[in-house]
Amino acid sequence: MKSVLIANRGEIAVRIIRACRELGLRSVAVYSEADRLAPHVLLADEAYLLGPAPSSESYLRVDRILDVARAAGVDAVHPGYGFLAERAPFAQAVAEAGFRFVGPSAATIQAMGDKTEARTRMAAAGVPIVPGTTEPLVDGDDAVRVATELGFPVLLKAAAGGGGKGMRVVEEPGACVRAFEAASREALAAFGDGSVYVEKYLGRPRHIEIQLLGDAHGNVIHLGERECSIQRRHQKLVEEAPSPVLDPATRAAMGEAAVTAARAVDYQGAGTVEFLWQDGAFYFLEMNTRIQVEHPVTELVTGIDLVQWQLRVAAGERLPWSQDQVQLRGHAIECRITSEDPEGGFLPSTGTIRHLELPGGPGVRWDGGITRGFEVGLHYDPLLGKLVTWAPTRIEAIDRMARALDEFAVDGVETSAPFHRRVMAEPDFREGRLSIRYLEEHPGLTEAETPEEGAVSDRLRPEEVAALAAVLEEESRAALRPPRLDGPDGGRPRTAWQAAFHPRARDV
Ligand code: MV4
C-alpha cells in the first residue's frame, strides 16, 4: 500500500493526511467547490475537485470518488467518519473497484447498521443488551403486549435507526399504540424502513464506549473506554478517557464484552462499541464501524496512533500488542469546537475565519480543519476542530483545558468555546457527576455571562487597534490568494498562508 484517497473533508481529512505522511503514504484529497481553500486540500499531496458544495454533489458522489481513485492510482480509500463511512454499498463498491477499504467489510457494516440484527448477534455472543425485543414489533397491540411484559417505561426505537430518530419513550400502556405509530412513521420517513422494536427505558444513563482495533489475522484488542455523556441532541460536546466512574474490574468486563462483540462480526480495523451504563450495570447499545471524532482521547491515554493503525491493518499488518500490553496512562479530555453560538440555542454561525489563535504548551493538542481565510458555510457539519488536553490526573486535564480555551480565539464566526470554558468550571463536571441529561440539568451553561471588567480589548489604544487591523488585513489578503489545486502540482504548500507565498503556487 503506497497511496490513500481520503473521501472526507475537515479535521478528520487533515488527521488522516497527517497519518499518511508519517507512514510515507501518498495522500490524495478530494474537495468540493466550497473547500478550494480548505486545509485538507492544501495539506494533501494531491487534490481533486468532486463537484459543487452540496454533499450530495461532492463528498457523497461514489462514482466521482472512484473515478478520482482510478485517475490518481491510489491503493486504498479511507472514508473518515460521516459521509460514506458507514454505508455498506460504498465499502462494497470500493472493494469491487480493486481498492482496499480502510475499515471493516461491507457485510460487517451492514450487520451493525441494522439495530435488531446487531442486538440478535450480540445477545447470541453473550454481550449484555438492554432488555427488550430483537425482532421488530408487528403492530400497536404487539407493542402494548411486549411493553407490559417488560414493564414501563419503555423506549420504542427504529431498527434502521441511530441518532435518536424514530425514538419514543412510553410511560404507560394507554400511550403505546399512538407512540408505536408515530415512531414507525418517523422511521419510515427517515430511513425508508418503518420497523420498530422495544427496549426497557433507562432514565439517567451514562454513555460509555469502548475503542477496538482488529487486524486481518484474527487479533482483536480493546483500548479502554471513553466517557461521552455530555451531549446535546445526540451531538457529543465533551469526551474523556478514562471514564470517571469505571473501576478496573468493570473496565475489564466492558472491554471483554466489546472484544466478544467484535469477534462475533469478524471485525477489522478501528471500531467502537457503545454502551449505556447505569447503576453499575452496562448494556450494548450500538457498534460504530468507523474512526470516531473523539478518538484522540484514547490515543493520548494509550499512546497508540489509531489512524496509523487503521492504515497499517488495512495494509495487512498484525497488531503488535496483546491485551495486557495496552496500559492506560493519565487522563485526556476533548472539547468539540463548533461554529455554533452556544448562547443562541447552538444556532450555526457562518463567516470567513479572519483570525485564529491556537493554544499550545504542555499536554495540548489541536486537531483542526480550518485556517485563516477559510469560509465557514452551512453545507457541512459545524465541527471546526477539537481541542484535546492530557495530564496525569483528571482535574489537571480539566484545568489544562480551561487554560487552553483561554488561549484559543477565532474571529469571523461564533464558536462553542465559551460554553466549553464554563463546563470546565462547573462543579458536577469537575467531580465527574455525569449522565446523558447533563446539559438539561445545567441550563446555565448555555447562557451568556456579563463581560469581564478590564478585558484586554478595553486596554488597547486606538492606534494599537489600527496597527493590528492593518496586519490582519494584509494577512487575510495573502491567505486568500489560492494555489493551483487541480491534480498533482509538484508543490506542497501547507496552509493558505504558506500557499500564497509558495514558490510553485500559481493563481487559478
Ligand atoms: C436509550 C436510552 C435510554 N434507554 N436506550 C439515543 C440514540 C440511540 N443511538 C440510543 N439512544 C438512547 N438509547 C434505552 N434503552 C437513551 C438514549 C439516549 C442517548 C444515548 C446515548 C447518548 C446520548 C443520548 C441522548 C438521549 C437519549
CATH number for the domain harbouring residue 380: 3.30.470.20
Asked if residue 42 and residue 12 are part of one domain, the reply reads yes
pLDDT at 273 over 90: yes
Query: Which among 134, 436, 440, 441 is the best mutation to test ligand 1's pocket, defined by most ligand atoms within 8 Å of the CB?
Result: 436
Asked if residue 320 and residue 208 are part of one domain, the reply reads yes
Asked if residue 321 and residue 221 are part of one domain, the reply reads yes
Distance 10 CA to ligand 1 centre (A): 27
The pLDDT tens digits of the residues spanning 306-339 come to 999 999 999 999 999 999 999 999 999 999 999 9
The pLDDT tens digits of the residues spanning 159-183 come to 987 777 889 999 999 999 999 999 9
Distance 164 CA to ligand 1 centre (A): 7
Query: Which among 234, 272, 287 is the best mutation to test ligand 1's pocket, defined by most ligand atoms within 8 Å of the CB?
Result: 234
Asked if residue 342 and residue 321 are part of one domain, the reply reads no
Helices (H) and strands (E) in the chain, counts: 18, 22
Asked if residue 306 and residue 294 are part of one domain, the reply reads yes
Print burial letters for 422-448: b (CB count within 10 Å at least 16), e (below 16).
bbbeeeebeeeebbbebbeebeebbee
Asked if residue 151 and residue 91 are part of one domain, the reply reads no
Domain closes at, from 200, 220, 238: 200
Domain closes at, from 269, 302, 329: 329
**365's grid cell:** 493538542
Whose CA is closest to atom 2 on ligand 1?
202
22 lies in some domain:
yes
**Mean pLDDT computed over 144-171:** 91
Beta bridge partners of 284: 129, 275
Residues classed as catalytic: 290
**453's grid cell:** 471588567
Which residues have CB under 6 Å of ligand 1? 130, 155, 162, 164, 199-202, 205, 207, 231, 234, 276, 285-286, 436
54 vs 471: CA distance, rounded Å? 34
494 lies in some domain:
no
Residue 495 confidence class, pLDDT cut points 50, 70, 90: low
Asked if residue 209 and residue 285 are part of one domain, the reply reads yes
Asked if residue 325 and residue 210 are part of one domain, the reply reads yes
Whose CA is closest to atom 16 on ligand 1?
202
Whose CA is closest to atom 15 on ligand 1?
201
Distance 155 CA to ligand 1 centre (A): 9
312 lies in some domain:
yes
The pLDDT tens digits of the residues spanning 286-298 come to 999 999 999 999 9
**Mean pLDDT computed over 268-288:** 97
Looking at residue 64, its pLDDT comes to 97
Contact indicator for 365, 298 with CB cutoff of 8 Å: no
Q: Which atom of ligand 1 is nearest to the CA of 283?
A: 15
How high is the mean pLDDT of the chain? 92
Q: What domain range includes position 15?
A: 3-109
Sign of the dihedral defined by the CA atoms of residues 374, 375, 378, 382, in that order? positive
Whose CA is closest to atom 19 on ligand 1?
436
Distance 206 CA to ligand 1 centre (A): 9
506 lies in some domain:
no
CATH number at residue 49: 3.40.50.20
Asked if residue 308 and residue 209 are part of one domain, the reply reads yes
Distance 208 CA to ligand 1 centre (A): 11
Distance 163 CA to ligand 1 centre (A): 8
User: For the range 65-72, what are the long-range contacts, defined as Cβ-Cβ under 8 Å and sequence gap of 24 or more?
Assistant: 65/5, 65/7, 65/30, 66/93, 66/94, 66/97, 68/5, 68/28, 68/30, 69/5, 69/28, 69/94, 69/97, 69/99, 70/97, 72/3, 72/5, 72/28, 72/46, 72/48
126 lies in some domain:
no
User: For the range 433-441, what are the long-range contacts, defined as Cβ-Cβ under 8 Å and sequence gap of 24 or more?
Assistant: 434/206, 434/227, 434/229, 434/230, 434/244, 434/245, 435/204, 435/205, 435/206, 435/229, 436/204, 436/205, 436/206, 436/207, 436/229, 436/231, 437/204, 438/229, 438/230, 438/231, 439/230, 439/231, 439/232, 439/237
Beta bridge partners of 204: none
Whose CA is closest to atom 10 on ligand 1?
164
Least confident of 27-41, 48-62, 325-339, 482-496: 482-496
Domain closes at, from 173, 200, 227: 200
Q: Residue 465: enclosing H or E segment and its boundaries?
A: helix 462-479
503 vs 501: CA distance, rounded Å? 6
Asked if residue 168 and residue 80 are part of one domain, the reply reads no
Query: Which among 170, 208, 276, 438 is the best mutation to test ligand 1's pocket, defined by most ligand atoms within 8 Å of the CB?
Result: 276
Helix 88-96 / helix 106-113 crossing angle, nearest 10 deg: 170
| pLDDT above 90 coverage of the chain, percent | 83
265 vs 268: CA distance, rounded Å? 9
Sign of the dihedral defined by the CA atoms of residues 37, 39, 41, 45, in that order? positive
474 lies in some domain:
no
The SS3 of residue 230 is strand
Half-sphere exposure of 200 (CA within 13 A, CB side): 14
Q: Which residue has the cell 483500548?
A: 223
Q: Which atom of ligand 1 is nearest to the CA of 201?
A: 4
507 lies in some domain:
no
Asked if residue 154 and residue 168 are part of one domain, the reply reads yes
154 lies in some domain:
yes
CATH number at residue 190: 3.30.1490.20
193 vs 117: CA distance, rounded Å? 14
Q: Which atom of ligand 1 is nearest to the CA of 130?
A: 15
Asked if residue 353 and residue 324 are part of one domain, the reply reads no
Distance 98 CA to ligand 1 centre (A): 38
Print burial letters for 386-404: b (CB count within 10 Å at least 16), e (below 16).
bbbbbbeebeebbbbbbbb
How many domains is the chain partitioned into structurally?
Answer: 4
